[in-house]
Amino acid sequence: MGNLLIINARIITPQGSTARCGEEMKQLLDLLNGYIEITDGIITAVGTGKPAKKKGYELLDAQGKVVLPGFVDSHTHLVFGGYRPDEFVWRMNGDSYMNIMARGGGIYNTVRATREATFDELKIKAEWYIDAMSRMGVTTVEGKSGYGLDQDTELKQLEVMQAINQDPLRKVDIATTYLGAHAVASEYGGNAKDYIDFMIAKMLPLIAERGLAENCDVFCEKGVFSVVESRRLLEAARELGFGIKLHADEIVTLGGAELAAELKARSADHLLHASDAGIEAMAKAGVVATLLPLTAFTLREPYARGRYMIDKGCAVALATDLNPGSCCSGSIPLLFATACLYMHMSVEEAITAITLNGAAAIGKADKIGSIEVGKQADLVVLDTDTPNVLPYYTGMNSVWHTIKRGKVLHQA
Ligand code: NIG
Ligand code: FE
């Protein structure tokens, strides 16, 4: 199990065990006629030409194909109850995302549905998305809570992800994130301070003790959690050993990017309205800028300044933001197209952004995100000899095989 020899492949990968910044993002290893030896799900050799014959290894001939590291979707909200197609249509007709939320819809709409949903309903739904994303080459996904806000439902969401992670046949690994600070729970009548007190006193210690989440995230946004409130929560989370992430400067310029730099967060995400100073501070502090162009696309907002961020030396990651509201899409092909066409990233930069830099955004760049000896053998094989199809097949899948821990999952 998990012993595989891939031969005759064009191998394309970023290299290293930390995020690639600025200029480095376009520097990929590109091996023609390459091989990858995988032993027990771990990469044990990479080279060109003919590898030594080995007993007990399955052989995969990748003649005419491109092999990349498995895609790491480092920002999703994939465990949720219900759907919100009506809100999508309201926005089509001019309503705004934040106004819908202020009326008790938006995130609150999904909170009600997620509180009502059973554990099994949530799990089956999340697995449906995982299967679809795995077919598009995703081998690791980050998943957030944040649709319960109360203790039981937040734990229920995190336990769904834990259950999926405990399945030995799982198609993806989930990096888990506590996002209790997604909105102020309605029980607190708009009192963000008291709700943060509850998260700090009760939820963070409980989740840490049970090992249910690796990261803590906050929706730092005008009308949701201020910079001061976000800082207080995230500092408490960091004390308990959580990795720190922020939804930052998504709707207005609030200083979320600056806060991420100050706290040396793993990532700040969205950043549609991040200031020049915030971007420079993030580059300096080595905070990954996780860009989510499918959300900008769906909300008809201006795209984040991906080109500018890379030129300023940032490490940019790309993720889908799959969720029932602002972006009900986990489409990797459309992610490549929007990143390359509208954020002016090169194909090489986009590949680094959704592999090694995505891994760094969830604190796993030492284990996944590149094709190198010692890393987990999570790979994607494209049914083509050029990576340029990634943005070119607009919204269409070019994946031939997804390989998880050396096991071939999908054969297109
Ligand atoms: O990343 N902005 C906050 N959170 C999500 C959307 C959540 C929702 O609309 O349900 C986001 O866009
Ligand atoms: Fe999000």
**pLDDT tens per residue, range 253-306:** 999 999 999 999 999 999 999 999 999 999 999 999 999 999 999 999 999 999
**CB 323 near ligand 1, within 6 Å:** yes
Between CA 236 and CA 38 the distance in angstroms is 41
Is the domain of 106 the same as that of 201? yes
Number of domains in the chain: 2
Pairing of β 138-144 and β 71-73: parallel
CA-closest residue to ligand 1 atom 12: 326
pLDDT score recorded for residue 16? 98
Q: What is the dihedral of CA 13, 244, 183, 141, to 10 degrees?
A: 30
**Are both 18 and 139 inside the same structural domain?**
no
C-beta of 247 in contact with ligand 1 (< 6 A): yes
Together in a domain, 147 and 28? no
Indicate if ligand 1 lies below 6 Å from the C-beta of 106: yes
Helix 107-116 to helix 151-165 angle, to the nearest 10 degrees? 70
Q: What one-character-per-residue DSSP string does 229-268 give?
A: HHHHHHHHHHHTT-EEEEEESSSS--SHHHHHHHHT-SEE
Enter the tokens of residue 114. Answer: 């997620």
User: Which pLDDT score is estimated for 13?
Assistant: 99
| Res 2: pLDDT | 84
How far does the centroid of ligand 1 lie from the alpha carbon of residue 7, in Å? 42
Provide the pLDDT for residue 410: 76
Q: Is 358 in the pocket of ligand 1 (CB under 6 A)?
A: no
Select from 399, 393, 394 the least CA-distant residue to 412. Answer: 399
Q: Which amino acid is at 41?
A: G
How does pLDDT run across 65-88, given as a tens digit for each residue? 999 999 999 999 999 999 999 999
CATH number of the domain residue 8 falls in? 2.30.40.10
Q: How is residue 25 annotated by DSSP?
A: G
Tell me the CA–centroid distance for residue 304 and ligand 2, in Å.
14
In the reported structure, the alpha carbon of residue 143 is separated from the centroid of ligand 2 by a whole-number distance in angstroms of 10
> Is residue 358 within a helix (H) or strand (E), and if so which, with residue range?
helix 356-361
Q: What is the pLDDT of residue 36?
A: 98
Tokens 């199990």 belong to 1
Q: What tokens does 164 get?
A: 């999926």
Query: What is the distance between the alpha carbons of residues 90 and 87, in angstroms, rounded to a whole number?
Result: 5
Please tell me the total number of residues recorded for the chain in this structure: 412
CATH of the domain at 160: 3.20.20.140
Q: Are residues 184 and 36 in the same domain?
A: no
The finding on whether 81 has its CB within 6 A of some atom of ligand 1 is no
Per-residue pLDDT of the chain (412 residues; tens, 9 = 90+): 689 999 999 999 999 999 999 999 999 999 999 999 999 999 999 999 999 888 999 999 999 999 999 999 999 999 999 999 999 999 999 999 999 999 999 999 999 999 999 999 999 999 999 999 999 999 999 999 999 999 999 999 999 999 999 999 899 999 999 999 999 999 999 999 999 999 999 999 999 999 999 999 999 999 999 999 999 999 999 999 999 999 999 999 999 999 999 999 999 999 999 999 999 999 999 999 999 999 999 999 999 999 999 999 999 999 999 999 999 999 999 999 999 999 999 999 999 999 999 999 999 999 999 999 999 999 999 999 999 999 999 999 999 999 999 999 977 6
Residue nearest to atom 8 of ligand 1 (CA): 325
Cα 334 to averaged position of ligand 2 atoms, centre (Å): 17
Structural domain for 202, as ranges: 71-361
Number of alpha carbons in the 13 Å side-chain half-sphere of residue 198 = 15
Give CA–CA dist 21/312, Å, rounded: 9
If you take atom 3 of ligand 1, which residue's CA is the nearest one?
Answer: 219
Residues 335 and 393 reside in one and the same domain: no
d(CA 288, CA 49): 36
CA distances from 12 to 105, 160, 178 (A): 44, 34, 33
**Residue 60 sits in the same domain as residue 181:** no
Same domain, 160 and 119: yes
Among 319, 344, 361, identify where a domain stops: 361
Q: Is there a single domain that holds both residue 356 and residue 223?
A: yes
Contact criterion met (CB below 8 Å) for 362 and 142: yes
Residues 143 and 232 in one domain: yes
Q: Does the CB atom of residue 324 touch ligand 1 within 6 A?
A: yes
Dmax of the chain from CA atoms? Answer: 67
Shared-domain flag, residues 35 and 94: no
Please, are residues 377 and 39 in contact by the beta-carbon 8 Å criterion?
no
Ligand nearest to the CA of 144: 2
Of 323, 328, 329, the one to substitute when testing ligand 1's pocket (max ligand atoms within 8 A of C-beta) is 323
Q: Give me ligand 1 centre to Cα 115, in Å.
A: 17
| Pair 351, 382 in one domain | no
Same-domain check for residues 333 and 189? yes
